[in-house]
Amino acid sequence: MPQEKKGARSLDDARGYLEEYFVPVMYSVPDEGPGSVKCADIFHDIFNSGEVKGKRLIDVGCGPVLSQLISASRFFSEIVCAEYSESGRAEIEKWVAEDPGAFDWSGYVQYFCDMEGTRDIWKERQKQLRQAIKAVIPCDIHKPNPIEPLQMEPFDVVITLYCLEAACSDRESYTKAVRNVSTLLKSGGTLILQTYIGTT
């Protein structure tokens, strides 16, 4: 992954973050960065491998981003988006509600459909993702139950992408965060962590 650009947008400005790192539909998926082809291909491969199974998935620290859930929505009928920032949650809620001002993810949906060989039904795949997202909730990975005060049945799959290292300042807090996030996972489930290595 490239180093974060000086002056780059933070997740406190969710829309600015999307516009900086995730290209609009009229452009191709970028080669580098959080919204890159490399990141998209990884999730296509993971969820189409047949090795990750279940019905319920939670994305912890998802920010305002949905691209990692496009392939997942083919296999998981119940997806929960958990995010600390209110602006990140608001962006996802706008897209799910088909708000005209929501960020346009159709380019990413079409990209995944191309890999799946289903380009002609990309609109149906987009609808499938909307229907799969059952809740958009607050979370804090520093709490023993990151989604408190909510109590949910453990999930078949927990994914967290570039979240823990952004929220933890040292190894001890990172270890605790991994432990906390893991409490959301059922026995025998799958934890998918995408992370930066060697950054400050």
Residue 5 lies in a domain: no
CATH of the domain at 170: 3.40.50.150
Residue 4 lies in a domain: no
Residue 151 lies in a domain: yes
Domain holding 183, by residue range, is 14-194
Distances (CA, A) of 144 to 122, 138, 168: 39, 14, 15
Residue 39 lies in a domain: yes
Residue 166 lies in a domain: yes
Laid out side by side, the sheet with 133-137 consists of 133-137, 78-82, 56-60, 155-161, 185-194
Residue 6 lies in a domain: no
- Per-residue pLDDT of the chain (200 residues), as tens digits, is 333 433 444 556 899 888 888 865 444 555 555 556 677 788 889 998 989 989 999 999 999 999 999 999 999 999 999 999 999 999 999 999 999 999 999 988 998 898 888 888 999 999 999 999 999 999 999 999 999 999 999 999 999 998 898 899 899 999 999 999 999 999 999 999 988 777 66
Predicted pLDDT at 188: 94
Residue 183 lies in a domain: yes
The number of distinct structural domains making up the chain is 1
Q: What is the pTM of this model?
A: 0.88
Predicted pLDDT at 172: 95
Residue 2 lies in a domain: no
Pairing of strands 155-161, 78-82: unpaired
